[in-house]
Structure 1
Amino acid sequence: MFISLSAALPVEAQNRISLPRTSLGPNDIAVIINENDPLSRQIGNYYLQARQIPETNIIKLRFSSKLSIITPKEFKQLKATIDQLTPKHVQAFAVAWTTPYRVGCMSLTSALAFGFDKKYCAEPCGSTALSPYFNSSSLYPYDDYKLRPAMMLAGTSFEHIKALIDRGIRSDYSFPKGQAYLMNTSDKARNSRATSFTQAAEELGELFPLQILAADYISERKDVLFYFTGLKKVPMLETLYFLPGALADHLTSAGGMLTDSPQMSSLRWLEAGATASYGTVVEPCSFSQKFPSPIVTMFQYALGASALEAYWKSVA
């Protein structure tokens, strides 16, 4: 995607000057809609219009959305249809629903990207196959790695999801001047990312105002651009203001269980005002490599990656 500069330059100069592509553009995204889910249709159509996604990039499916988990057999049938309908130039997926969020022992988004494969499953609590997309410079993940990273346009109501989409659009090319909050929490089982915080401050401190706090949470802040912590449940989110484009997540076992988590669902971040979050759907154990690396996430974001790309490139 090229962006023409609109500064006060002669017309001839404006026609020649452009910025290089740094992230996915509207033509690179396919929107997957479940026609049996009225909310999915509403979300998908809104995202399509708001993000100016080409009509040729719509993928329409029909299946039951009542359960949070589908079987690998059911997914195989859906994936065959998705593969058939996806234009070859598409590099990533936007999934317009909240359930199902899991395929057997994989997240739906991972299964869409890699295909269902048990080598990406953490059972029982071990390491998985590596993602070739981790911390890569690729601007074309499907062309380079034959994977299409996926994100879910998830929420409990159309109003919540519309607000989420609108925040993302407001953040485009905005270069927000917010703070990064890296929390060194008292929850030892979920604090494994804290060992990388000092390096993040050393390497990225000139790009983002960054605070490493020995605390479980923050409150009454109006400048949150990044918020990385490790807890079962993060309190005081309602007191925070997240800048458009803000990324926030908590390292815990079941944050990606969007609608029925025994812990805090990642949806709570989005409802509080974050633009993107991350969570796992099966027990990952406290391996930091299975969660977003804050230093990689922020570095990729600084390079101009979208939230989808920055999060995907940050998980090894």
Structure 2
Amino acid sequence: MRNFLCLSLALAAGAAHADAPAAAAVPPGLQAAQLAIVINDAEPNSVEVGEYYRKAHGIPAANVAHVNIPNRPRKLSVDQFTQLKERINAQLKPEIQAVLMVWSAPYAVECNAITAAFTLGYDGDQCAKTCDPGKPSRYFNSEAAQPYTQLGLRLSMLLPIDFVEEAKAVVDRGAVSGFSVPAASAYYLTTSDTARNSRAAFFPPAGVVRQRKLTVKNLKADSLEGAQDIMVYQTGLAKVAKLETLHFLPGALADHLTSFGGDLQGSSQMSSQRWLEAGATASYGTVSEPCSYWQKFPNPTVLLRRYLSGSTALEAYWGSVLWPAQGLFIGDPLAAPYAGFRR
């Protein structure tokens, strides 16, 4: 029997699925002054987009960190990553709670995603057997309003910059989200791909969340076609069709449960970057074979509850993944279309 949670009760009381830790109050939201931008000076696109992001979100110039990563490697060794993280941390003020890396590569540290390795530390045990269960994140469903101050965790996200104008479009969508609450829909697709439907039991029940002007829609289909009001789109497939027919609202979250969505420059499966190119503002994918544990992917109920309660895209996504070692968080971390509902 599918075990659903009532979304309206979850928003009111912070309830969570029985298999997850008890939920708590959603954080009041990451502020621009608490976010650091990391620019790769070896890449002109990173320099241009990083400055564009800083101005769009009003981030202090003192929050910008600079590194030099030549040749755009997809993957770093543990030693290379350790040196990179030390260079970044040396430039961060104590009040910085989160970090945005402005580049397309590197995006992996051995089998770990670079965002997970930065926030949680490199997990060598996961690389010994990538299909084994992962280590729980202390930030999963957390009430910590200051993740670094309270938990010692600087949340991180990566903004791909292969194409400058597309990257700037992501920033623009993130910057305008939250100016007004749009009438929107959250779409959850149970597909014909049984192995990739492992989180379908966590899809929120269909219905209307009236205060948020959001309609939750559950579909049994392999693709969504023609929808023009998307705030959330979660599905399970190796490749998602008909993205070109869709319209994503500013701040929209979208991801697909598959093995290599976080392999941004891979070709065996659809890259999570395709969601951003289609109009989403943030996404998630794994960089190495995780097997189909739901715990390694965004929990749909937790993600939606946190986002509708005013969390930023960064907080909502990070707070929804229990075992994130292999998971890459991408997009605009400060997008927050429901910021007006923060407590």
* TM-score, normalised via structure 1 length: 0.90
* Cα distance between partner residues in 2 of 1:75 and 1:66: 13
Deviations 1:237-265 (A, max 9, x none): 00000011110000000000111241000
Deviations 1:143-184 (A, max 9, x none): 111111111111430000000000011112422221011001
Any conservation in 2 of the 1:92–1:149 contact (CA below 8 Å)? yes
Deviations 1:182-241 (A, max 9, x none): 0011001101111122xx217985553111101111101111111000000000000000
Pick one of 130, 135, 138 that aligns with 2:144: 138
Tell me which residue corresponds to 2:186: 180
Greater Rg by CA? 1
Count of aligned pairs: 295
1:290 is aligned to 2:300:
no
* Cα distance between partner residues in 2 of 1:225 and 1:188: 25
* Cα distance between partner residues in 2 of 1:92 and 1:261: 30
Letter in 2 for 1:231: L
* Cα distance between partner residues in 2 of 1:244 and 1:48: 18
Pick one of 166, 170, 174 that aligns with 1:168: 174
Tell me which residue corresponds to 2:3: none
* Cα distance between partner residues in 2 of 1:185 and 1:54: 44
Tell me which residue corresponds to 1:40: 46
**3-state SS in 2 of match to 1:259:** coil
Pick one of 196, 199, 205 that aligns with 2:202: 196
Tell me which residue corresponds to 2:313: 307
* Cα distance between partner residues in 1 of 2:230 and 2:316: 17
Any conservation in 1 of the 2:110–2:127 contact (CA below 8 Å)? no
* Cα distance between partner residues in 1 of 2:289 and 2:72: 23
Tell me which residue corresponds to 2:236: 230
Any conservation in 2 of the 1:113–1:150 contact (CA below 8 Å)? yes
Tell me which residue corresponds to 2:162: 156
Q: 1:150 to 1:139 in 2, by over 3 A?
A: same
* Cα distance between partner residues in 2 of 1:196 and 1:122: 29
Any conservation in 1 of the 2:189–2:222 contact (CA below 8 Å)? yes
Tell me which residue corresponds to 1:81: 87
* Cα distance between partner residues in 2 of 1:254 and 1:92: 25
Letter in 1 for 2:105: T
* Cα distance between partner residues in 2 of 1:193 and 1:204: 21
Letter in 1 for 2:141: N
Q: 1:51 to 1:218 in 2, by over 3 A?
A: same
Q: 1:238 to 1:58 in 2, by over 3 A?
A: same
Q: 1:149 to 1:204 in 2, by over 3 A?
A: farther
Q: 1:220 to 1:27 in 2, by over 3 A?
A: same
Tell me which residue corresponds to 1:266: 272
Q: 1:21 to 1:201 in 2, by over 3 A?
A: closer
Deviations 1:9-68 (A, max 9, x none): xxxxxxxxxxx9821111110000110111111111111111111111111001224221
Any conservation in 2 of the 1:182–1:228 contact (CA below 8 Å)? yes
**3-state SS in 1 of match to 2:37:** strand
Identify which of structures 1 and 2 has the higher relative contact order when contacts are C-alpha pairs closer than 8 Å and 6+ apart. Answer: 2
Gaps of 5+ in 2: 1-25, 323-343
**3-state SS in 1 of match to 2:188:** strand
* Cα distance between partner residues in 2 of 1:230 and 1:122: 26
The correspondence of residues 20-39 of structure 1 with structure 2, limited to 5 A, is 22-39=28-45
Q: CA deviation at 1:88?
A: 0.5
**3-state SS in 1 of match to 2:186:** strand
Tell me which residue corresponds to 2:332: none
* Cα distance between partner residues in 2 of 1:112 and 1:250: 23
Q: 1:136 to 1:173 in 2, by over 3 A?
A: farther
**3-state SS in 2 of match to 1:44:** helix
* TM-score, normalised via structure 2 length: 0.83
Pick one of 215, 218, 235 that aligns with 2:221: 215
**3-state SS in 2 of match to 1:232:** coil
Aligned identity (percent) is 45
